[in-house]
Amino acid sequence: MPTFNETPAFANATANSFSQPEHPVTLPDQPDPNNPVWGVAGALLIWLLSIALQAIIPVLVIIPFALHRGLNPGAPDFPKLALELAVTDRTGILLQVISILPTHLLVLAVLWAFVTRFGKRPLLASFGWARVGGSRWVERALYIAVGIVLFLVATVLAKVLGAEKPTQLEQLINSSIAARYAIAVLAVFTAPFVEEFIYRGVLYSALQRTIGVNAAVVFVLALFTLIHVPQYWPNIGVISAIGMLSIVLTIVRAYSGRLFPCVVIHMAFNAVQAALLLVEPYLQRLVPTTEPAVPTASMLLPLIHLIF
């Protein structure tokens, strides 16, 4: 990767190999996405808090269900039995998937409070959302196309490096039709916003100002990939595809200075996978097979593996 300077707003184009022709115009009273009001410590704190929320809330959801199923809360093995119920019972699995929606909404609320200082600053402008000039529809179509191409490349990469190995996410998807639909909806409409706001929004913005663009890209790549390893282990192919998606999205963020392209690309990437998830049961009826479905390179749910 080429060497970048550490100028927060990428002002010196000759010293930085990433030119920024599409940067939004930043007025004096508008936030600068490359010079955020938060620092690295605050960004890491939000990242850790999001992990905690996405681990705790599904557990809190399964406890009433375990009590409903007759488990004794005073028994020494209650936590173990409750967690087993969460991954073996179809209703329990569906509850875990559904619990991701309020978790995502809560994480977004925390992000709003942190970035805007409880409404004192604009949220989207703090991430460099808007674009001045040009055709917005052409721009969006381009980002959607990039997301689709990335999905195809990621699928090939996952297949070559070992996509035949089952993952924990596969078990959730195949548990019921309801869980499959819920995962597809979350993949397209909430997960891209949560993940991009945290990784390419809060984390990258603070890191690139402090440690430079190169180091920030690597750091975000490491965090984003590492947090998905338990969910997709031992499928090295899918993990590698996740890393590829992360580095492309972070480079797009570095080049454009905006978060909007990352969200659209991420949504398009997930939308292809979601569409395949929805049609797969009908295709299996037409072409019966005894072999398990081959998982593709998806970014559907961020951290539900932490409860297992």
Residue 96 or 228, more confident: 96
Q: Look at residue 234 in the predicted model and tell me its pLDDT.
A: 73
Q: Write the pLDDT tens digit of every residue in 55-91.
A: 899 999 999 999 999 999 999 999 999 988 888 889 9
Confidence of residue 15 (pLDDT cuts 50, 70, 90): very low
| Dist. CA 305–CA 308, nearest whole Å | 6
| Dist. CA 204–CA 25, nearest whole Å | 20
Per-residue pLDDT at 17 exceeds 80? no
Confidence of residue 166 (pLDDT cuts 50, 70, 90): low
Lowest mean pLDDT among 66-75, 117-126, 241-250, 292-301: 292-301
Long-range contacts of 210-216 (CB under 8 A, 24+ apart): 210/39, 210/40, 211/6, 211/40, 212/4, 212/5, 212/6, 213/4, 213/5, 213/6, 213/16, 213/18, 213/254, 214/1, 214/3, 214/4, 216/250, 216/254
User: Contact 1/16 with Cβ under 8 angstroms?
Assistant: no
Per-residue pLDDT at 10 exceeds 90? no
Confidence of residue 287 (pLDDT cuts 50, 70, 90): low
Q: Look at residue 167 in the predicted model and tell me its pLDDT.
A: 59
Return the structure tokens found at 187: 């993949």
Residue 275 or 28, more confident: 275
DSSP 203-226: IHHHHHHHH-HHHHHHHHHHHHHH
Confidence of residue 48 (pLDDT cuts 50, 70, 90): very high
User: Contact 27/234 with Cβ under 8 angstroms?
Assistant: no
Each residue of 265-303: b (16+ CB within 10 Å) or e? Answer: bbbbbbbbbbebbeeeeeeeeeeeeeeebebbbbbbbbb
pTM for this one? 0.82
CA distances from 165 to 159, 235, 281, 300 (A): 10, 5, 20, 18
Mean pLDDT for the stretch of residues 134-153: 90
Counting residues of the chain whose pLDDT is more than 90, the rounded percentage is 56
Q: Write the pLDDT tens digit of every residue in 186-204.
A: 999 999 999 999 999 999 9
Q: Look at residue 165 in the predicted model and tell me its pLDDT.
A: 57
Mean pLDDT for the stretch of residues 40-60: 94
Q: Look at residue 157 in the predicted model and tell me its pLDDT.
A: 87
Q: Look at residue 200 in the predicted model and tell me its pLDDT.
A: 96
What ranges make up the beta strands (E) of the chain?
none
Each residue of 154-170: b (16+ CB within 10 Å) or e? Answer: bbebbbeeebebbbbbb
Q: Is the torsion defined by CA of 45, 186, 66, 227 positive or negative?
A: negative
Per-residue pLDDT at 22 exceeds 70? no
Return the structure tokens found at 43: 């960004």
* CA-closest candidate to residue 121, choices 33, 24, 11: 33
The CB density around residue 74, as the number of other CB atoms within 10 Å, is 6
Q: Compute, in degrees rounded to 10, the torsion defined by CA atoms 85, 100, 172, 180.
A: 130
| Dist. CA 284–CA 8, nearest whole Å | 51
User: Contact 165/234 with Cβ under 8 angstroms?
Assistant: yes
Per-residue pLDDT at 183 exceeds 50? yes
Per-residue pLDDT at 11 exceeds 80? no
Q: What angle do CA 155, 160, 165 make, to 5 degrees?
A: 85
Per-residue pLDDT at 293 exceeds 70? no
Residue 173 or 104, more confident: 104
Q: Write the pLDDT tens digit of every residue in 108-136.
A: 999 999 999 999 999 999 998 877 666 78
